[in-house]
Chains A and B, each alone.
Chain A
Amino acid sequence: MKLRDLAHSRTGDKGNTSNISVIAYRAEDYARLEAAVTVERVRHHLGALIQGEVVRYALPGLGALNFVLTRTLGGGVTRSLALDAHGKCLSSAILDLDI
């Protein structure tokens, strides 16, 4: 099963830091997400796309996890050479995780 079957996601950017939310469609799936979508798995999955640290914040009341990835956006949207300078497409990458 893919993460996409259990959760949805949105990416935000502030400077060179990206945040990716992972939000359970159903509250009862949250515990499974919390166990499976770890910092290590996200780091491994996104690999070279992440240049800095990965921090995870858990929001059980919202059934959501929030991943904060530093030094991930080529210096930030104002100077990045990337086609997706905001890193907005990262949410779709994380939903491809196998659960």
Chain B
Amino acid sequence: MKRVRLGTGAGYSGDRIEPAVELAEAGDIRYLVFECLAERTIALAQLAKRRDPSAGFDPLLTDRMMAVLPACRRNGITIITNMGAANPHAAGAAVSAVARSLGLGPLRVAIVTGDDVTEIIRARQDLTIEETGAPVSSLADSLVSANAYLGAEPIVRALKAGADIVITGRVADPSLFLAPLVHEFGWAADDWRLMGKGTLVGHLMECAGQVSGGYFADPGYKDVPNLARLGFPIAEVAADGAATITKVAGSGGLITGATCREQLLYEVHDPARYLTPDVAADFSGVSITEAGPDQVRVDGGGGAARPASLKVSLGYGDGYIGEGQISYAGPGALARARLACDIVAERLRIIGLPLRELRLDLIGVDAIHGPELSAAAPEPYEVRLRVAGRTHTLKDAERIGNEVEGLYTNGPAGGGGATKMAKEVIAVQSTLIPRELVNPQVHMMEVQP
């Protein structure tokens, strides 16, 4: 039976670069997929593009392509990535420039667009925001961007047209992996069982190292070898959708039933209905079997008809966040940090700062799980006060950090290491739009040597 080997070159925009090179050189793979576009990243990229029409794609795109393109060309590996973010055309131009500078041509770079539905959303203000039930019109001028999650179809089209590199904006993460399977095996887009199985493979692969031992180690309970040299995953997929998850021999990390089960449920709600633009995938009957060292067999996924609507991420301006931190250490550290906390809270009242929300944490005590779960913990040697607040203006946000920094000369004894920051917040909510309003397009760029 025909088998196709896919590798994951990145699981988020800042991910390590060398594991992708290792896969391209020694992974015996046909496709290398880079998933680099988080929920909010595309809204930030839209803002960047607005300021500079040649910007708005992944900042590490050129570095990644410089690193992997020679081995990918040598070994006949097709690259698929959503690093186009808000500007796939500019990303395509950047990749073409890399290829030319390395003397690697001819090659075909496919650009997938159509995910940017900002104008459609502005014209359809009756749509409802999923999280709040409010109409999209309530975002009014604060709306920065609207990007629909595209499915595998336009990527399949690009592969059929002979693309060596496919660059997209917002595409559902598993669809980046499903597309080459559909292309290679000729799966029908309405074969929901196969769409579900391919989506399962994509879901396991989309976070790169998170299935091959990354984000897994818990010393004494779950030990993982050589995380500094973590190998990224390879999926060897058969025409019936069954897959083996593995990695390059000798790389760090490990792939076991446990690492695959953790990643299977990562960011999943109802496991019987994992919704993507391609399918309502069903992971509830999946079987995970260890077939050898760093080889796990995955089978049994299924699916039902794809949703009629596409999910759209709405990026919108949501005010500003200001933050300040300062540390206390040694005897009485906790008491001094608590005093510092009280002082800042009182100061913010005295100066009458208009705050939409305020949060006071003691890092090392209760910042992560709150005061209840940490109530019985022993007193730490050192404590860091963190004050974070939401404001309407950047100037107000800056005043929060200033009040924390002011503890140097006005607060308890021995405060050190104060830091402060203030930032604009682009938040994300979602809505659903009818599929037929979205028109994905593929543009081919020919790169000559």
A, B in one complex: yes
Residues of A bordering B, CB below 8 Å: 4, 8-10, 12-17, 19, 21, 23, 25, 45-49, 55, 57, 59, 61-64, 66, 68, 75-79, 81-84, 89-90, 93, 96
> How many Å from the CB of B359 to the closest CB on chain A?
4
Q: Are A81 and B270 in contact (CB under 8 A)?
A: no
Main secondary structure of the interface of B (DSSP, over half): mixed
Q: Are B269 and A19 in contact (CB under 8 A)?
A: yes
With A and B bound together, what is the CA distance between A66 and B268 in angstroms?
Answer: 8
The stretch that binds A, out of B103-111, B360-368, B440-448, is B360-368
> How many Å from the CB of A62 to the closest CB on chain B?
5
Q: Which of A15, A19, A78, A93 contacts B369 (CB 8 A)?
A: A93
Q: Chain A residues near B358: list those with CB within 8 A.
A: 81
> How many Å from the CB of A29 to the closest CB on chain B?
13
Q: Are B368 and A83 in contact (CB under 8 A)?
A: yes
Q: Which of B40, B130, B284, B428 contacts A61 (CB 8 A)?
A: B284
With A and B bound together, what is the CA distance between A46 and B270 in angstroms?
Answer: 21
Q: Are A76 and B428 in contact (CB under 8 A)?
A: yes
Q: Are A83 and B131 in contact (CB under 8 A)?
A: no
Q: Are A14 and B267 in contact (CB under 8 A)?
A: yes
Q: Chain A residues near B285: list those with CB within 8 A.
A: 61
Main secondary structure of the interface of A (DSSP, over half): mixed
Q: Which of B287-313 contact A (CB under 8 A)?
A: 287-288, 300
Q: In chain B, what residue has the closest Cβ to A66?
A: B265
Q: Which of B227-278 contact A (CB under 8 A)?
A: 258, 261-272
> How many Å from the CB of A10 to the closest CB on chain B?
4
With A and B bound together, what is the CA distance between A48 and B300 in angstroms?
Answer: 38
Q: Are B368 and A84 in contact (CB under 8 A)?
A: yes
Q: Is B425 on the interface with A (CB-CB < 8 A)?
A: yes
Contact with A along B423-441 (1 / 0, CB 8 A): 0011111100000000000
Residues of B bordering A, CB below 8 Å: 39-40, 43, 130-131, 215-216, 218, 221-222, 258, 261-272, 284-288, 300, 318, 321, 357-359, 361, 363, 367-370, 372-373, 386, 388-390, 425-430
With A and B bound together, what is the CA distance between A14 and B318 in angstroms?
Answer: 18
Q: Which of B221, B270, B287, B367 contacts A8 (CB 8 A)?
A: B221
Q: Are B430 and A19 in contact (CB under 8 A)?
A: no
Q: Are A10 and B265 in contact (CB under 8 A)?
A: yes
Q: Are A78 and B221 in contact (CB under 8 A)?
A: no
Q: Are B372 and A47 in contact (CB under 8 A)?
A: yes
Given contacts A83-B367, A83-B368, contact A15 B428 (CB under 8 A): yes
Q: In chain A, what residue has the closest Cβ to B222?
A: A8
Q: A66-B268, A78-B427 are in contact. List 4 more A-B contacts (CB 8 A).
A: A68-B270, A78-B425, A81-B388, A83-B363
Q: Are B373 and A81 in contact (CB under 8 A)?
A: no
Q: Are B268 and A19 in contact (CB under 8 A)?
A: yes
Q: Chain A residues near B265: list those with CB within 8 A.
A: 10, 12, 19, 21, 23, 59, 62, 64, 66
Q: Chain A residues near B390: list those with CB within 8 A.
A: 79, 81
Q: Are B286 and A62 in contact (CB under 8 A)?
A: yes
> How many Å from the CB of B376 to the closest CB on chain A?
11
Q: Chain B residues near A78: list those with CB within 8 A.
A: 39-40, 43, 318, 425-428
Q: Chain A residues near B130: list those with CB within 8 A.
A: 15
> How many Å from the CB of B340 to the closest CB on chain A?
17
Q: In chain B, what residue has the closest Cβ to A57?
A: B271
Q: Chain B residues near A46: list those with CB within 8 A.
A: 373
With A and B bound together, what is the CA distance between A74 and B425 in angstroms?
Answer: 14
> How many Å from the CB of A4 to the closest CB on chain B?
7
Given contacts A12-B267, A83-B361, contact A75 B427 (CB under 8 A): yes
Q: In chain A, what residue has the closest Cβ to B363?
A: A83
Q: Are B221 and A10 in contact (CB under 8 A)?
A: no
> How many Å from the CB of B24 to the closest CB on chain A?
28
Given contacts A61-B286, A77-B39, A89-B368, contact A13 B261 (CB under 8 A): no
Q: Chain A residues near B318: list those with CB within 8 A.
A: 78-79
Q: In chain A, what residue has the closest Cβ to B207?
A: A12
Q: Chain B residues near A79: list those with CB within 8 A.
A: 318, 390, 425, 427
Q: In chain B, what residue has the closest Cβ to A12?
A: B267
Q: Chain B residues near A16: list those with CB within 8 A.
A: 131
With A and B bound together, what is the CA distance between A72 and B268 in angstroms?
Answer: 15
With A and B bound together, what is the CA distance between A19 and B272 in angstroms?
Answer: 15
Q: Chain A residues near B425: list those with CB within 8 A.
A: 78-79
Q: Are B372 and A48 in contact (CB under 8 A)?
A: yes
Q: Chain B residues near A83: list those with CB within 8 A.
A: 361, 363, 367-368, 386, 388
Q: Are B270 and A49 in contact (CB under 8 A)?
A: no
Q: Chain B residues near A17: list those with CB within 8 A.
A: 269
Q: Are A81 and B389 in contact (CB under 8 A)?
A: yes
Given contacts A61-B284, A79-B318, A81-B389, contact A12 B266 (CB under 8 A): yes
Q: Which of A13, A55, A93 contacts B267 (CB 8 A)?
A: A13
Q: In chain A, what residue has the closest Cβ to B367?
A: A83
Q: Which of A9, A15, A19, A81 contacts B359 (CB 8 A)?
A: A81
Q: In chain B, what residue has the closest Cβ to A49?
A: B370
With A and B bound together, what is the CA distance between A63 and B359 in angstroms?
Answer: 38
